[in-house]
Amino acid sequence: MRVKLSAFAFAAAFVCAALLPAGGARSAEPLLIRHGWVVLTGTMSPLVFMKPDILKHYGKSYTVDPIRFKGTSPELLGLASDQLEVASLAYSSLVLGIQNAHLDDMRIIADGFQDGHPGYNSIEYMVRNDSGIKRVEDLKGKILGINVIGAAVDIGGRAVLAKHGLEYPRDYSIIEANFPTIGAMLLQGKADVVSMVEPFNYAPEVQKGAHTLFTMRDGMGTSQMIVLVAREGFLKKHKAALDDFFEDMVRGIHWMLNPTNRDAAITFASDAAKQPASLFTPYYLTKKDQYRDPDGIPDLDALQRNIDTQVKFGFLKQGIDIKKYADLSFIERAAKRYKTASR
């Protein structure tokens, strides 16, 4: 009798649960999106997801776990091993992921930032004021410091040197250092020219002891420097939650770029990056900064030129048609959803 009653109770509970309205059932857990980054304040994503009070869907349909990497190329391993859902990749690591890591299911989904966009800043390659280096040709036999070999700043620097007849490793050597420490490495004489990105190029000691010799724009022209990517299977499986994620991304970008919010945005960004606000004040969210598209749309034509330039200088054996690896449907829908909600 006890067995029969238990079976009846189980069946009754199952039927009652099935008949409960959707609101009475336990809601699904928000989708966790592990998001790679290198310089937190370089791209707007994942930065904006660290300020949920300006977002609409965060914590309901999705959450974001920002994960730091030394450079963009190591993020490929995270994608390949399913330890990362969204990566921020440079134009250099993107193609390597498709051609060498066989991640041909990667899809470009949004803008990270664009270097050398007309009217905006370009990444600087700096030398010490007392180095005696006046021209690019003076770097023969010298040391180039970058964050990671194969990164975009590595390719950009090599492209400029190649234009001036200097080839690696014949004419110069390369060493690696994290972006926060690369300025000190230059000033200590451990490297002769280094790639400096915001906000680290605005450190008082760097501004006092070094100056710009050339920029990435000199080697690559306008660059789609960073793009956000995800694997196709992930995009197809979680369409609804990702629509909310991208809508909040656009919402966050618009909040950050709104001039009336600049002081609050600087305070937030400096707190998130654990860097003094004084580093951000001279440039951040002005035309002295990198360009970010307000709706998160990448410049695929610029990205194609970046890839073609890598082929020209021998950094890639063959090029690709980058538009075949783009899925901008999410970010385009997000821009429309945001504009509709803002009316």
Adjacent-strand bridge partners of 124: 196, 215
pLDDT in tens, the chain (343 residues): 333 334 434 343 433 444 444 444 445 899 999 999 999 999 999 999 999 999 999 999 999 999 999 889 899 999 999 999 999 999 989 998 999 888 999 999 999 999 999 999 999 999 999 999 999 999 999 999 999 888 899 999 999 999 999 999 999 999 999 999 999 999 999 999 999 999 999 999 999 999 999 999 999 999 999 999 999 999 999 999 999 999 999 999 999 999 999 999 999 999 999 999 999 999 999 999 999 999 999 999 999 999 998 898 888 889 999 999 999 999 999 999 999 988 7
Domains 31-114+223-272+291-342 and 124-220 share a fold: yes
Q: 29: number of CA atoms within 13 Å, CB side?
A: 4
Going by C-alpha positions, the residue among 22, 43, 49, 44 that lies closest to residue 244 is 49
Distance, in Å, from the CA atom of 153 to the CA atom of 224, rounded to the nearest integer, reads 12
Angle, vertex CA 323, rays to CA 321 and CA 329, nearest 5:
165
Class of domain 31-114+223-272+291-342: alpha beta
Q: Where are the beta strands (DSSP E) in the chain?
A: 31-37, 62-68, 87-90, 106-115, 124-128, 143-146, 173-176, 193-196, 210-215, 223-231
Say if strands 31-37 and 87-90 run parallel, antiparallel, or are unpaired: unpaired
Specify the pairing of strand 124-128 against strand 106-115.
unpaired
CA pair distance 35, 40, nearest whole angstrom: 11
Assign 22 to helix, strand or coil. Answer: helix
* Angle formed by the axes of helices 239-257 and 329-342, nearest 10°: 60
- Show me where the domains of the chain are located: 31-114+223-272+291-342, 124-220
Instruction: Return the CATH class of domain 124-220.
Output: alpha beta
How many other C-beta atoms lie within 10 A of the C-beta of residue 91? 26
